[in-house]
């Protein structure tokens, strides 16, 4: 069976007066029906831009230079605006990272929640209202019947985020893209939201793309993990394979720098250095200036994304300690 989403050789560049930012520089992956994919990496690695490119929501100075994003047999990058509008919000919904800039401050929460199913002619007004109330209750909004009439500024940051999640679910999309969906939430509410997404995924057969810098959350919630760095994929594998046989030095550094509360006398071991300038990335492997295992070839040649095991791919000349032949 064909994957629900297939991204192939995606390049997204931003043109600025001081140069060209290669935010996404040739990434490819598949997402199966009912699968949860986690895209992990530091800030500026291209995680969010990669999914915003598929929905054509990038800034005006951005341009998709090359690639495909085939969703259910249609290349999203070749659709016109009207065709894309029939998919966004209905077939594919997105939970944005900052709800305050995503919610309209002049409209009540309830009205904004009802808009997607009404616009796509999925529900009548009364049905949309009842479903919106039900979802507000499911995501943990207290006194949801009265808060339905509140404006975004009357919600706390965590409540706004939960309202955004409810809005993304209201059309029962086939794919949810969640960009740091639990950033503004405390630990208890975060667990409730992740459980809700899991329940909805299983009930509706949805697929999920989770964008996060929280490696522990990705490893607990996702079926597959992709690690991005400076616009490129460093490693991708099933979660179990990734945790048991992590190959790329950058991925290993992410794991080492993650706090494990079950370990006594914890000492964090951060990755040295900083991500590269996206306008002037280093030659060869983009991680080599920060890599403790670098060799001369790392600065000269870009490593191909090669097979490192069963359904396991890695972009490293010396993955797993082996020397490139």
| Weakly modelled stretches of the chain, pLDDT under 50 | 321-325
**pTM of the model as a whole:** 0.91
Specify the pLDDT at position 111. 95
Hey, where are the domains in the chain? 5-79+224-321
Distances (CA, A) of 108 to 103, 123, 147, 246, 317: 9, 19, 9, 47, 54
Give the architecture (CATH level 2) of 5-79+224-321: 3-Layer(aba) Sandwich (3.40)
Q: What residue has token string 């077939």? A: 91
Q: Which residues on neighbouring strands pair with residue 178, listed in sequence order?
A: 95, 210
Q: Which two tokens stand for residue 257?
A: 């720098």
CA distance 182 to 158: 8
Question: Could you tell me whether strands 312-314 and 306-309 are parallel, antiparallel, or unpaired per DSSP bridges?
Answer: antiparallel
Specify the pLDDT at position 261. 54
Distances (CA, A) of 264 to 242, 252, 267, 297: 24, 20, 9, 39
Specify the pLDDT at position 320. 57
Q: Which two tokens stand for residue 42?
A: 């530091």
Given a contact cutoff of 8 angstroms between Cβ atoms, the answer to whether 105 and 84 are in contact is no
Q: What residues have CB less than 8 Å from 314, skipping those under 6 apart?
A: 234, 235, 247, 248, 305, 306, 308, 320
Given a contact cutoff of 8 angstroms between Cβ atoms, the answer to whether 45 and 232 are in contact is no
Specify the pLDDT at position 322. 46
Specify the pLDDT at position 266. 62
């Amino acid at each position: 069976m064909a994957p629900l989403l297939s991204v192939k050789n995606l390049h997204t560049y931003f043109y600025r007066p001081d140069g060209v930012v290669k935010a996404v520089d040739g990434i490819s992956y598949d997402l199966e029906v009912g699968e949860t994919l986690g895209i992990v990496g530091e800030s500026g690695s291209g995680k969010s831009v990669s999914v915003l490119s598929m929905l054509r929501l990038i800034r005006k100075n951005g341009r998709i230079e090359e690639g495909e994003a085939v969703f259910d047999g249609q290349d999203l990058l070749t659709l016109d605006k009207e065709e894309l509008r029939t998919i966004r919000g209905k077939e594919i919904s997105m939970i944005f990272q900052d709800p305050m800039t995503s919610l309209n401050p002049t409209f009540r929460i309830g009205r904004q929640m009802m808009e997607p199913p009404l616009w796509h002619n999925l529900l009548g007004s009364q049905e949309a209202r009842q479903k919106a109330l039900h979802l507000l209750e499911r995501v943990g909004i207290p006194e949801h019947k009265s808060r339905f009439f509140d404006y975004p500024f009357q919600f706390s940051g965590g409540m706004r985020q939960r309202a955004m999640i409810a809005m993304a679910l209201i059309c029962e999309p086939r794919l949810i893209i969640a960009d740091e969906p639990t950033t503004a939430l405390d630990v208890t509410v975060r667990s409730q939201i992740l459980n809700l997404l899991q329940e909805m995924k299983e009930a509706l057969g949805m697929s999920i793309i989770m964008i996060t810098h929280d490696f522990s959350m990705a490893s607990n919630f996702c079926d597959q993990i992709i690690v991005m760095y400076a616009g490129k994929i460093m490693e991708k594998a099933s979660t179990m394979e990734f945790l048991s046989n992590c190959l790329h030095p950058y991925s290993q550094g992410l794991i080492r720098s993650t706090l494990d509360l079950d370990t006594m006398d914890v000492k964090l071991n951060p990755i040295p250095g900083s991500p590269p300038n996206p306008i002037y990335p280093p030659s060869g492997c983009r991680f080599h200036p920060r890599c403790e295992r670098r060799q001369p070839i790392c600065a000269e040649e870009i490593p191909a994304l090669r097979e490192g095991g069963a359904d396991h791919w890695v972009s490293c000349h010396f993955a797993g300690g082996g020397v490139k032949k």
